Amino acid sequence: MTLQALIFDVDGTLADTEEVHRQAFNAAFLAMDLWWNWGAGEYMELLKVSGGPERIAHYVSRLDVPAQEKKRLAGLVPAIHREKTRLYHELISGGRAPLRTGVLRLLDEARAAGLRLALAATSTTANVEALVSAMLGPKALGWFSAVASADNVAHKKPAPDLYQRILGTLRLPAAACVAIEDSENGVRASKAAGLYTIATPSRWTTTQDFAEADLVLYSLGDPDAPLDPVTAKAIGAPQLGLGQIAALHAARAARAA
């Protein structure tokens, strides 16, 4: 089936946002008079838990504190996350999270070719809107025919709910779409929904398991930041463009026929 849409994850895939998220979490903890501080290594492990509130709740569940205190802290999770979200928006609006290499080029190629674009985000709709507006401009949300966020579905990644919602909005079968993700949970979600999936691990997710992905690249590449020679030879170009994605997608469809 002909490629008709690209579906991007947001955090870590469109932009390197995870350090900004980590800073916002730590600032929120300080604002809430908590003693927590998530270092880079600890945060890398916590990223295996999808969703901000879930991540905080998971952290609380592992604290070595009396049961009554743990219950009190668990009750604070929604307030902590609200404060974290407010602080994240402040940081993002200041341009603290750069787009990843090749993302803008690929978005432009897809738009020029008439492909539909969509976003499948594990974060909230407010976070998605803040990031897209800050990184791509205030009108960029109009580029996307479908946007599904964590607050739109019952189950977050690795469940396929976000992708199933997007496919329903686009009114396209999974076979007509390609997903681009940066995490193991994201890949598991898109594959569970039946999509050809390209994984672009970030520095935060590079140790995760991407065995289910159809293609793993540590960058999409750009003219001034080409892929390494081995990867470039494997995909037939110094950067991953729409032509290469369409060819890989078609080859997978032919094998499945």
pLDDT, tens digit, for every residue of 201-229? 998 999 999 999 999 999 999 999 999 99
- Mean pLDDT, the chain, integer: 94
The answer, yes or no, to whether the previous bond of 158 is cis (omega within 30 of 0) is yes
pLDDT at 52: 92
CA distance 18 to 98: 11
Q: Helix or strand or coil: residue 94?
A: coil
pLDDT, tens digit, for every residue of 18-50? 899 999 999 999 999 999 999 999 999 999 998
Catalytic residue among 9, 16, 182, 222: 9
pLDDT exceeds 90 at position 126: no
**Edge-to-edge strand list for the sheet holding 116-120:** 146-148, 116-120, 5-8, 177-181, 196-199, 215-216
pLDDT, tens digit, for every residue of 162-194? 999 999 999 999 999 999 999 999 999 999 999
Cβ atoms of 189 and 159 within 8 Å: the answer is yes
Structure-block tokens of residue 43: 């945060």
Taking residues 151-169, report their average pLDDT: 95
224 is catalytic: no
First to last CA, the chain: 10
Catalytic residue among 11, 16, 214, 222: 11
CA distance 100 to 3: 23
Q: Which residue ranges form the domains of the chain, and what is each CATH number?
A: 5-17+98-256 (3.40.50.1000), 18-93 (1.10.150.240)
pLDDT, tens digit, for every residue of 89-123? 899 887 778 899 999 999 999 999 999 999 999 88
pLDDT exceeds 80 at position 139: yes
**Comparing C-alpha atoms, which of 44, 54, 29, 6 is closest to residue 155?**
54
CA distance 133 to 139: 7
9 is catalytic: yes
Positive or negative CA dihedral for 60, 23, 78, 49?
Answer: negative
